[in-house]
A and B are shown apart, each in its own frame.
Chain A
Amino acid sequence: MPAPETILSVRDLAVRFGRSGVRAVDGVSFDLGAERLGIVGESGSGKSTLGRAIMRLLPPAANVEASQLDFDGAPLLTRPEREMRSLRGNRMALIMQDPRYSLNPVLTVGKQVSEAALLHQRISKKDATAKAAEMLARVRISDVERVMGLYPHQISGGMGQRVMIAMMLLARPRLVVADEPTSALDVSVRGDVLKLLDELVRENNSGLMLISHDIRMVAAFCQRILVMYKGRVVETLTRLEDAQHPYTRGLVAAMPDPRRPVRRLQTLDRSAIDSLEARS
């Protein structure tokens, strides 16, 4: 389903690290509208590097090249760092994997969220606190007053991730990059966090890039899926059942399914995939 309005447009994006010339991301192209786009692949497939390249958050050793990388109709790669800084958190947001590491451990939850409000919107401290409380209630945190006075180590992982989402979506960003937002959470909380993320993204009419290794979850949640292998997009899917590429099929078959018990699980035939990739 092509989105009516393109938020992010990527053509031939390549990322190289250092002088080795190994491409972590190799010739990736896609358009993102107000939709949910999933990026899946194994560790080292370049999915996180892709997300960070778009946010321009890669270290200086990374060499990012693209024939086009437009966000909201304007190129991203040529912007000075100062402009990027005002863009990040405001117009584009990154939600990371583990709230235990991405929240500041020495600031209370209330302080962190209101700081985000203070930074991106020109409002008074008092309004920022009110805004933070409102946003925390939006992400369904009960007893907001109490939680705002707590430190990150005093709240659970699921709650921490909701605080992260509140902080990131406070400024109503156009683009949300969620990098494994649910991998550190228990299965029963995963669904809630995803639903919440979806609800807020829809409300703001923004685009969501969901990066994950969990192909089944991504398929259930996203409208479109890019499958990455060794830095390249090997397949773009709308339904998992349509998978043609042996890599995608291999990933799906490698997952145990309680409804279809097997004695041995299928494993990836990497040499076959590599030879197929070499030909294309």
Chain B
Amino acid sequence: MIAVENLSVSFGSDAKRRQVVKNVNFSIARGETLGIVGESGCGKSTVLRSLAGLDRHWTGDIRLDGKPVDRERSLEHLKLAQMVFQDPYGSIHPRHRIERVLAEPVRAMKIGDGWDRVAAALEQVGLPASFAERFPHELSGGQRQRVAIARALMLEPQILLLDEPTSALDVSVQAEVLNLLSDLREERGLTYLLVSHDLSVIAHMCDRVLVMKEGEFVDELSSEDLASGTTHHPYSTTLFEASYI
């Protein structure tokens, strides 16, 4: 579903130029969930943003659903993958009602006004349709993240790119949102790429995990490895131990 070859991302120019993602390769099969785990600044979010078309500083090859995509995305290509961001307080327009937030992607893609899809979109993420009238500040963090997921699904993408979708939430609410994501994946056969610093969340959601450090993948763990605590690189061992203090 996703194939990435020799992806590199650099920022800055001349002496200050820094390569934050260094020639990474990976692929994700249809219906699979791949996790990328790493610390702040390791480049994991940059990989995600390049895939989503939010960052144009990349070189290499990205294929989504078999189609090679450019740095400048066409509307058609943008519809393939949608992103859910970390902070539900920052990623939803504070002065738009929820209905407008949800209709926006449909209007941006010029395929209608989107109003008629709002109620169904809210119900599929477990919120009452009456929430369409509300403003974001009238919702809790978990409800907002549900709205963000509903918004990402408005265009019926095959791929969801999840950037720390539950780090701003309480564990109890995190469990609800992770369950929702699992259910949606099953219902619609979605492919997920989940980025997080929290190994336990990644291990719960993913079939396969890549460990990222300073712009490179240093380890790959299967779900069996995660369950038994097997690692192949000292850095993943450190991460593993640190998540159980």
Contact = CB atoms under 8 A, between A and B. Distances in A.
A249 to B, nearest CB: 11
A43 B141 contact: yes
Nearest to A215: B171
Nearest to B240: A258
A264 B174 contact: no
A278 B203 CA distance: 37
Interface string A210-221: 000111110011
Given A188-B238, A215-B171, A256 B178 contact: yes
Interface string A17-49: 000000000000000000000000011000000
A221 B244 CA distance: 11
Q: Is the interface of B mostly helix, strand, loop or mixed?
A: helix
A84 interface: no
A119 interface: no
A9 to B, nearest CB: 30
A267 B170 contact: no
A150 interface: no
Interface string A246-280: 00001100111111011111111000000000000
B214 to A, nearest CB: 13
Nearest to B179: A264
B47 interface: no
Interface in A85-126: none
Given A43-B141, A213-B170, A213-B171, A256 B200 contact: yes
B238 A258 contact: no
A221 B203 contact: no
A33 B223 CA distance: 44
Interface string A177-213: 0000000001110110010000000000000000001
Interface string B17-44: 0000000000000000000000110000
B179 A255 contact: no
A261 B57 CA distance: 38
Interface residues of B, number: 31
A3 B174 CA distance: 36
Nearest to A262: B204
Interface residues of A, number: 32
Q: Is the interface of A mostly helix, strand, loop or mixed?
A: loop
B159 to A, nearest CB: 22
A265 B179 contact: yes
Nearest to A256: B204
Contact of B198 (A187, A194, A220): A187
Contact of A256 (B173, B201, B229, B244): B201
Contact of A255 (B40, B171, B223): B171
A194 B174 CA distance: 24
Interface in B196-222: 197-201, 203-205
Interface string B86-130: 000000000000000000000000000000000000000000000
A188 B172 contact: no
B176 interface: yes
B227 interface: yes
A220 B242 contact: no
Contact of B242 (A157, A191, A251): A191
A255 B166 CA distance: 12
A191 B239 CA distance: 11
Nearest to A192: B242
B245 A254 contact: no
Nearest to B167: A183
A268 B175 CA distance: 9
B33 to A, nearest CB: 13
Given A188-B238, A267-B176, A258 B245 contact: no
Contacts of A255: 171, 175, 200
The 7 closest A-B pairs by CB, nearest first: A256-B204, A258-B203, A265-B175, A254-B175, A42-B170, A186-B39, A187-B242
17 contacts: A43-B170, A157-B40, A187-B198, A188-B39, A188-B242, A190-B242, A191-B245, A220-B245, A254-B172, A255-B171, A256-B178, A257-B200, A258-B226, A259-B229, A261-B226, A264-B182, A268-B172
